[in-house]
């Protein structure tokens, strides 16, 4: 049986995966973090086995497709908000213990992505990519203004800043939502206002974009996509900035074989069997590696480029499951 770990909150890749499982008449089960916190399913752990709605996952599961694990952050148990927050915190810790046990209980199964590498450190990845021979944008992480000023001047005052890891959206009491994810430019005006010691931040030399690329990777195969973000003013600087009317075109493209080889080497070095890698092609026709996301959304990219990677994933999982069942018999 194939296990899908995902969220009820919404995920573009998830329905495509499920559709293919249904079409192939595969044996599968879906688990979400929300179900556990909201106590929606029957769960028992006994004799080292994890039973979920009566199914012995420890025994039945052959492989796992992990998308994400979320818990509902804003449900109310009581009107006393402090009491509510602390009760939820306890629930989340308990749910986390259950999750950690489930993951470790299933660690001998095949995971996509690899269980031990569900997240990567972006700075570490940049350094590994550099060792492998990728161009990466020169960067500095600092909390000192004098270091920032030196870096800024070294690159002709053409630098950007972005999160070291990932920021999530910020919510306020009155329902406003603030999005902090976008890449920002640094200018004299901002530097002048900064204190000598500010909060530690990542700064990068800005690479002039000819083309933005996203390369999807699954089991030694690459699926390169051109993100035509330079066609729209809004998305020129950061392709994630789109509105309902403007969305960058995505087109399947070819990349040099040497780049594909480096991608394969990087993914093997990082022990990743799936992921999406971001690149920039600059005006000198050099490719710059930006980052890799091991559990990135593939759905939109896969569908709009007709790569149909979900099918490759499901074919692979079904083969694994078939062989597992055969071995059990």
Partner 1 sequence: MKRQKNDIIAIINSLVLNGKLPIPFFNSQEVNNDVEHKNIQNNNIENKYKQKKLPEAEASLLISKIYEIL
For partner 1, the binding residues (CB under 8 A) are 8-12, 14-16, 18-20, 22-23, 25, 28-30, 32, 143, 161-164, 167, 169-170, 172, 174-180, 182-184, 186, 190, 193-195, 197-203, 241, 244, 303, 306, 308
Least Å from the CB of residue 29 to partner 1: 6
- Could you tell me the CA-to-CA distances from 271 to 78, 112, 268 in Å, in that order? 44, 11, 5
Cα distance from N-terminal residue to C-terminal residue, the chain: 14
- Comparison of 169 and 326: residue with beta carbon closer to partner 1: 169
- Number of other residues whose CB lies within 10 A of the CB of residue 292: 23
Least Å from the CB of residue 309 to partner 1: 13
Least Å from the CB of residue 329 to partner 1: 22
- Comparison of 133 and 300: residue with beta carbon closer to partner 1: 300
Least Å from the CB of residue 53 to partner 1: 8
- Comparison of 99 and 304: residue with beta carbon closer to partner 1: 304
- Comparison of 167 and 322: residue with beta carbon closer to partner 1: 167
Long-range contacts of 88-96 (CB under 8 A, 24+ apart): 91/37, 92/37, 95/33, 95/36, 95/37, 95/71
Least Å from the CB of residue 170 to partner 1: 7
> Can you tell me the distance from the alpha carbon of 161 to that of 206, in angstroms, rounded to the nearest whole number?
9
Least Å from the CB of residue 240 to partner 1: 10
Least Å from the CB of residue 63 to partner 1: 17
Q: Are 171 and 238 in contact (CB under 8 A)?
A: no
- Comparison of 132 and 202: residue with beta carbon closer to partner 1: 202
- Comparison of 124 and 180: residue with beta carbon closer to partner 1: 180
> Can you tell me the distance from the alpha carbon of 126 to that of 266, in angstroms, rounded to the nearest whole number?
10
Q: Are 301 and 214 in contact (CB under 8 A)?
A: yes
- Comparison of 8 and 282: residue with beta carbon closer to partner 1: 8
> Can you tell me the distance from the alpha carbon of 305 to that of 56, in angstroms, rounded to the nearest whole number?
38
Question: 142: Cβ–Cβ under 8 A, 6 or more apart, which residues?
Answer: 148, 151, 200, 201, 203
Pair of tokens at residue 148 = 């920032």
Q: Are 161 and 183 in contact (CB under 8 A)?
A: yes
- Could you tell me the CA-to-CA distances from 2 to 65, 67, 125, 290, 319 in Å, in that order? 8, 13, 30, 33, 11
Q: Are 182 and 170 in contact (CB under 8 A)?
A: no
Question: 234: Cβ–Cβ under 8 A, 6 or more apart, which residues?
Answer: 241, 242, 243, 246
- Comparison of 244 and 328: residue with beta carbon closer to partner 1: 244
Least Å from the CB of residue 210 to partner 1: 24
- Comparison of 179 and 219: residue with beta carbon closer to partner 1: 179
Least Å from the CB of residue 132 to partner 1: 27
- Of 63, 176, 173, which Cα lies nearest the Cα of 110? 63
- Of 322, 301, 293, which Cα lies nearest the Cα of 121? 293
* Placement of tokens 């066609």 in the chain: 231
């Amino acid at each position: 049986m194939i296990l899908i770990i995902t969220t009820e909150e919404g995920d573009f890749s998830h329905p495509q995966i499920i559709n293919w499982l249904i079409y192939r008449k595969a044996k599968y089960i879906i688990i979400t973090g929300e179900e556990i916190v909201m106590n929606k399913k029957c769960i028992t752990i006994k004799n080292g086995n994890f039973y979920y709605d009566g199914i012995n996952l420890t025994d039945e599961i052959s492989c796992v497709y992990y998308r994400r694990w979320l818990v509902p952050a804003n449900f109310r148990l009581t009107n006393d908000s402090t009491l509510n927050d602390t009760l939820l915190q306890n629930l989340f810790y308990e749910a986390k213990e259950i999750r950690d046990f489930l993951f470790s209980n299933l660690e001998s199964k095949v995971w996509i992505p690899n269980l031990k590498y569900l997240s990567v450190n972006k700075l570490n990845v940049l350094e590994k990519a550099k060792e492998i021979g990728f161009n990466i944008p020169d960067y500095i992480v600092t909390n000192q203004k004098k270091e920032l000023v030196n870096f800024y001047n070294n690159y002709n005052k053409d630098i950007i800043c972005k999160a070291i890891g990932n920021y999530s959206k910020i919510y306020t009491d009155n329902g406003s939502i603030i999005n902090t994810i976008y890449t920002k430019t640094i200018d004299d005006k901002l530097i002048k206002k900064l204190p000598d010691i500010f909060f530690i931040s990542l700064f990068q030399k800005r690479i002039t974009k000819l083309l933005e690329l996203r390369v999807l990777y699954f089991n030694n195969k690459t699926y390169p996509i051109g993100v035509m973000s330079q066609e729209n003013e809004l998305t020129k600087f950061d392709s994630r900035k789109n509105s309902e009317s403007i969305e960058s075109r995505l087109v399947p493209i070819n990349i040099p074989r040497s780049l594909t080889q480096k991608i394969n080497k990087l993914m093997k070095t990082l022990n990743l069997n799936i992921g999406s890698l971001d690149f920039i092609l600059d005006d000198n026709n050099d490719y710059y590696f930006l980052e890799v996301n091991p559990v990135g959304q593939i759905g939109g990219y896969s569908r709009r480029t007709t790569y149909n990677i979900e099918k490759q994933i499901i074919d692979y999982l079904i083969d694994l499951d078939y062989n597992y069942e055969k071995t059990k018999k």
